[in-house]
Amino acid sequence: MARKLPSRTTSDDTKSARTRERILDSTAAVLSRKGYSETRLTDVAEEAELQSPAIYYYFKSREELIEEVMWAGIAHMREHVEGVLAALPPETSAMDRILAAAEAHLRFSLSVSSYTTAAIRNSGQMPERIRERHEAERAKYGRVWRKLFKDAADDGELRDGVDLLTVRMLVIGSLNWAAEWWTPRTSKIDNVVEQARQLISNGIAK
């Protein structure tokens, strides 16, 4: 039987995928630091250690590249938080699920994903023409949090008079804002997580 030769296409595809990922990683890093208006393809190329024209082999435009990073930032966050929630024991209370989601959100955005940091910091700067995919993913993530708070209300675990929409938006807004002010020099991430858990628990739980 003739021996099958290794596929050159597979090897080339793998190299291409790695380069594409490096471009996306570099874009997320630059976007996190400089913001949408100041991010240039030359900055991305320098971060990725590529020539600028090489980026156009993978992405048609700067906007397409940034759109992909912004979408991935929210998508990865949602998948991470959903994974954390799915791993909790079935008997976990609704309030404890909110606290677990808050911790997962903070740890992921502050210490794991520059994509998520970029998405949080630049969501208000994106032009309308490239917002649709990002906004659709934000809506999916919002539904995760909406269910968490509804379950807590249905189980009688929230304080009387809590407005679900207002409180949910305040909590998510506070979690997102941490990406703007926190650095490892500010305080340990464990402390940020613990303070967030206490604020949420003491503020809305019965």
Instruction: State residue 2's pLDDT score.
Output: 39
The answer as to whether 154 is a domain residue is: yes
The answer as to whether 2 is a domain residue is: no
Q: Measure CA of the first residue to CA of the last residue in the chain; give whole Å.
A: 72
The CATH number of residue 152's host domain is: 1.10.357.10
pLDDT by 10s per residue, the chain, length 206: 333 334 444 555 688 889 999 999 999 999 888 888 889 999 999 999 999 899 999 999 999 999 998 898 889 899 999 999 999 999 999 999 999 999 999 999 888 778 888 888 887 787 787 778 888 888 999 999 999 999 999 999 999 999 999 999 999 999 988 888 888 888 899 999 999 999 999 999 98
Alpha helix segments (H runs only) across the chain? 8-34, 41-48, 52-55, 62-86, 94-107, 114-122, 132-154, 164-181, 189-204
Instruction: State residue 5's pLDDT score.
Output: 37
Residue 205 and residue 159 in contact, taking contact as beta carbons nearer than 8 Å? yes
Residue 168 and residue 146 in contact, taking contact as beta carbons nearer than 8 Å? yes
Compute CA distances 32 → 110, 158, 201, whole Å: 11, 35, 30
Instruction: State residue 75's pLDDT score.
Output: 92
Instruction: State residue 72's pLDDT score.
Output: 87
Instruction: State residue 7's pLDDT score.
Output: 41
Residue 196 and residue 106 in contact, taking contact as beta carbons nearer than 8 Å? yes
Instruction: State residue 118's pLDDT score.
Output: 83
Q: Helices 132-154 and 164-181 meet at what angle, rounded to 10?
A: 120
Compute CA distances 171 → 36, 61, 99, 119, whole Å: 25, 35, 11, 17
- Tokens 């938006």 appear where? 169
Domain total in the chain? 1
Query: Which residues form the domain of 146?
Result: 8-204
Ramachandran category for residue 160: left, alpha or beta (phi over 0 → left; psi -120 to 50 → alpha): beta
The answer as to whether 1 is a domain residue is: no
